[in-house]
Amino acid sequence: MDVVQVKSPGGPEQLQVVERPDPEPGPGEVLVRVAAAGVNRADLLQREGRYPPPPGAPDWPGLEVSGVVAGHGPGVDAAVWPLGARVAALLPGGGYATAVTVPAGLLLPVPDGVDLVDAAGLPEALLTSWTNVVDAGRLAAGDVLLVQGGSGGVGSVAVQLGAALGAHVVATAGGAERAERCRELGARTVVDHRTQDVAEAVRAATDGHGADVVLDVLGAGGLATNLAALATGGRLVVIGTQRGSRGELDLGLLMARRGSVIGTTLRARPLAEKERIVADVRARAWPMLSDGRLRPVVHARLPLDRAADAHRLLDSGEVFGKVLLVP
């Protein structure tokens, strides 16, 4: 099979297509012929040598794929995952390839009406959104959800999910065009972070209440703004560090707001925990794809041998939604 390996830590030019032996599914695993792989910021960090794969994972990037079932390992019920079934999958790594093996518990069936290639942009974004907004953030109908980066791969799905769950979604975006696209996804309020004070805009849009849940990809650079926007009893959930990993936090204001700061990652969690999240999403969020409340948001599809261009594109700040690699 073909895979995209990192020759040595560095820039996009370090990505190259090489041949590796076809994978064999082990106990409890399914072989998937890849239709597309999602490109995530974690892949860029791995390419730079700053985010190594967990033990046992392939050493090439890729956290999510879509494709068709092509084989079964011992213990897999072929009636549940028959040959040819359309699936999407969460991976600890190795998605930049023409084939992958994945534990059956990390598979999701791609519904009729959802394009199989575009489905590759769903697993990481939807599972990340769900476990952070619903599990960690405890979002409830009527709450205010602030999505920092509503135009991103995770953000574009989190906006839709929050709206589907009955929240008042406030999304940040850069520029009028991106703001309008966030509204089309379900954001009731959109803040142009280039021209507006985000915290002030959130409070103005919520009659001074603020955000009950903040989903943040900025990290250190967003701490002050997010805390200023937080409602009393609010939950700030940090899932990224695009603007740094170390910063100052006004503990007095956090205490006055009776707020919580929660940090999470998905990739390094134990398999059993990820399988639980997948099962929860399949039961409670995946049906939203069939009824139209959720959809994959794809900015571009690029061939697998243009992985370097895909990384450059994602790093450009121009992407709205997901970039996909298609073998």
Q: What is the pTM of this model?
A: 0.96
Closest CA to 229 of 264, 204, 262, 192: 204
- Count, residues in the chain: 327
pLDDT band at 317 (very low <50, low <70, confident <90, very high): very high
Phi and psi dihedrals of 225, rounded to 5? -65, -45
The DSSP line for 97-149 is BSEEEEEGGGEEEPPTTS-TTGGGGSHHHHHHHIIIIIIIT---TT-EEEETT
3-class DSSP assignment, residue 200:
helix
**Which tokens is 253 given?**
């204001």
pLDDT band at 48 (very low <50, low <70, confident <90, very high): very high
pLDDT band at 315 (very low <50, low <70, confident <90, very high): very high
CB 40 within 8 A of CB 64: yes
3-class DSSP assignment, residue 261:
strand
Q: CA-CA distances (angstroms) from residue 235 to 83, 98, 136, 145, 230? A: 43, 40, 8, 10, 7
Per-residue pLDDT reduced to its tens digit, 232-290:
999 999 999 999 999 999 999 999 999 999 999 999 999 999 999 999 999 999 999 99
Q: Calculate mean pLDDT across residues 146-153.
A: 97
Angle between helices 176-185 and 153-164 (to 10 degrees): 40
Side-chain half-sphere exposure of 262, counting CA atoms within 13 A: 20
pLDDT band at 189 (very low <50, low <70, confident <90, very high): very high
pLDDT band at 180 (very low <50, low <70, confident <90, very high): very high
**Which tokens is 295 given?**
């959809």
Q: CA-CA distances (angstroms) from residue 305 to 5, 44, 58? A: 11, 16, 18
CB 111 within 8 A of CB 289: yes
Q: pLDDT value at position 78?
A: 97
Q: pLDDT value at position 69?
A: 98
List % helix, strand, coil for the chain (3-state, nearest 5). Answer: 35, 25, 40
pLDDT band at 181 (very low <50, low <70, confident <90, very high): very high
How many Å apart are CA 297 and CA 118, to the nearest integer? 8
Q: pLDDT value at position 63?
A: 98
Closest CA to 50 of 6, 88, 107: 6
The DSSP line for 273-325 is HHHHHHHHHHHHTTHHHHTTS----EEEEEEGGGHHHHHHHHHTT---SEEEE
Q: Taking all residues of the chain, what is their mean pLDDT, rounded to a whole number?
A: 97
Per-residue pLDDT reduced to its tens digit, 73-126:
999 999 999 999 999 999 999 999 999 999 999 999 999 999 999 999 999 999
Torsion of CA 167, 173, 176, 177, to 10 degrees: -90
Question: Which residue has tokens 């805390």?
Answer: 227
Q: pLDDT value at position 206?
A: 98
pLDDT band at 19 (very low <50, low <70, confident <90, very high): very high
